[in-house]
Structure 1
Amino acid sequence: MAFTLLLVLLTACAAIAAEDLSGQMMVFPEETDTAYVKLTTPKETISAATVCLRSFTELSREHSLFSMSTSTVSDAFRILKLNPDNGIDVDVQNSNLEFQTQDYKLNEWQSICATWDSATGVVQLWLNGKPSVIKYSGGSNIDDPIAIVGQEQDSFGGGFSKAQSFVGMLCDVHMWNDVRSPCEIERYMADTNFLPGNLINWSSLEYVITGRVLINDKQTCPRSKAFWKRRW
C-alpha cells in the first residue's frame, strides 16, 4: 500500500501541467544557491532565439536573469546583469558579449529582451524599449537545453552560486525560436497585444519550483511611457 502511494506521488510530481501566470510574478525572497525555477522547453534544436522578461530587484551585484545550458555547453544562452558600472552580458554557446546599459534602474521593473541568430551570428539586447548596438557572437545550434531562472548554471542543471543568484521578482518570461522584429519587441515592452513565446510562454508555462520561490500577484503593472502620455 505504501509503495503504491509513493508511486502515485512520484507520478503526480513528474506530470507538469501548463499554467497561466498572466498577472502573476515569481518571487525570489532570499540569496541562496538552492532556490530556482526550471522552465520546460520543447525538445528541439534551436537555431535562433529571442528571450524576453521583466525583473525587479535591488541587487547591485552580479546576478542571473536567464540561464540556458546543454549537456556540453554551460552558457548556451544566458542573460547576466553585471556590476552597476558594467552592463548586461548576453552569452551564446559560451561566447560572451557585454552590452552597456542605458537606463537599468534598481527597485523598478525592467523589461529586457535578447536576440540571437545562428545564421548571421549576431546578438542584440533591448532594455526598456531601447535597442543596443548589434554585436557578433557566432554560435552553433542549441540542442535539448535546460532553462532556469533564479540561478546561473555552471553545469547542466546545476553548479549554482549564491554570488550570482537572483533576489527579487520576475514575470512575463517568453522565448521564441526566431528573432522577433523590432515592432514585436516594442509590443512586448509596452505589454500590448504581442504574440506569446512558442518555446516558453508565461501564459501557458510548464515549470518546476525548487526551494523557496513564491508565485504572487503582480504588485505593479509595467507600462510604457507612451501609455502614460496617452492616459494623462
Structure 2
Amino acid sequence: MESALNLTGKLVFLLVLIYGCYGDLQDLSGKVFVIPMTTSTSHVKLHANVSKPISAMTMCQRFNSEQERGQSLFSLATQSHDNDLLLYKRSMGVYRVHIRGDVLDFFSLPDSKNEWISICWTWDSTTGLTQLWVNGKRSARRILKPDTSVTGTPSIMLVQEQDSYGGGFDSSQSFVGEVTDVHFWDSVISPCEIQMYMELNKFTAGNILNWKDLQFSIEGKVFIEKSEFRNECYNY
C-alpha cells in the first residue's frame, strides 16, 4: 500500500510539473504577444506535439514592429540543427529562410514600420520548393533542401533565434514589437487558404500550432494584450 501511495504521489508530482512548465491550452483569439524591449532572455516557447518527421510545412503569423534591424520571426530547432526551420527578417523588405542550416534570401517584399504584416512561409521537401507570402504578395518559388525532412523533438520559439537547442539567444537578433495569429501546418496549404488567412476570412487552423488552441510558456518581458488588429466585423 505504501509503495502504491508513493507511486501515486510521484505521478501527481510529475503531472503538476508538466502542467506548471507548459500551461494549459489557451484560445488567444483577439490577443497579441507584446515584446516591448530588446533582450537576450525574453521569449515565447510554443509547445507542439510533432509525432512524425516534418517533410512539408506552412507557417503563418502577423507581426508589427518599428525596428529596421534584423529580427527573428520564427525559430524551430532540433538537437541536430539549431536552424532547422528559421524565418528571419534581415532588414526592411528582406526575409531570410533557413532549412536544416541552408539559407535563402527573398527581396523586395512588403514591409512597413508600425504596421501589421501578415506573412506565410511554405516548403515541400518532395520538390524543395519554398516561398513566402507577405500581405498577399507571393515571392518567387525557390528550391531549398529537397529530399530531406526535419526530425527530432522540436524546440519552437518566438522572439529569439536559437543558436543552440532551446537557447543561445543574441539580443541583436531578438524581435521587438507585437505578434499574433501564429499557425503551423505539417503540409503546404493551398494558395486559397493562404489568401483567406491574409484577408482575415475563415481558414483551416494549423494542425501543429493553432492560435485558438495554443500551449506556450513565456519567459521575461513578454505580455499578452488585446489586439486592435481584428474586430467583430471580420468573419474569422
**Scaled by the length of structure 1, what TM-score is found?**
0.89
Out of 77, 100, 120, the position equivalent to 1:69 is: 77
Tell me the distance in 1 between the aligned counterparts of 2:149 and 2:216. Answer: 23
Deviation per residue, 1:82-105 (Å, 9 max, x gap): 123x60001111110100133211
Out of 168, 184, 192, the position equivalent to 2:177 is: 168
Which residue does 1:60 correspond to in 2? Answer: 68
Change (3 A) 1:141 1:189: same
Larger Rg over CA atoms: 2
How do 1:101-180 and structure 2 match up within 5 A? 101-139=108-146, 140-143=148-151, 144-180=153-189
Deviation per residue, 1:120-160 (Å, 9 max, x gap): 11110000001000000015211221110010011111110
Q: Which runs of 5 or more structure 2 residues have no equivalent in the other structure?
A: 1-8
Change (3 A) 1:15 1:167: closer
Which residue does 1:43 correspond to in 2? Answer: 50
Contact 2:183 2:211 in 1 (8 A): yes
SS of structure 1 residue aligned to 2:86 = strand
How do 1:215-226 and structure 2 match up within 5 A? 215-221=224-230
Tell me the distance in 2 between the aligned counterparts of 1:11 and 1:35. Answer: 21
SS of structure 1 residue aligned to 2:61 = strand
Deviation per residue, 1:61-85 (Å, 9 max, x gap): 000000001100111111100123x
SS of structure 2 residue aligned to 1:187 = helix
Provide the identity percentage: 39
**Scaled by the length of structure 2, what TM-score is found?**
0.87
138-147 or 199-208, larger mean C-alpha shift: 138-147
Contact 1:101 1:127 in 2 (8 A): no
C-alpha root-mean-square deviation of aligned residues, in Å? Answer: 1.7
Shift of 1:15: 4.9
Tell me the distance in 1 between the aligned counterparts of 2:112 and 2:199. Answer: 17
Shift of 1:11: 5.2
**What amino acid is the match of 1:75?**
N
Q: Structure 1 residue runs of 4+, over 6 Å off?
A: none
Q: Which runs of 5 or more structure 1 residues have no equivalent in the other structure?
A: 228-232
Contact 1:65 1:79 in 2 (8 A): yes
Out of 88, 98, 101, the position equivalent to 2:105 is: 98
Tell me the distance in 1 between the aligned counterparts of 2:224 and 2:201. Answer: 23
Tell me the distance in 1 between the aligned counterparts of 2:28 and 2:73. Answer: 18
Q: How many residues align?
A: 217
Contact 2:21 2:217 in 1 (8 A): no
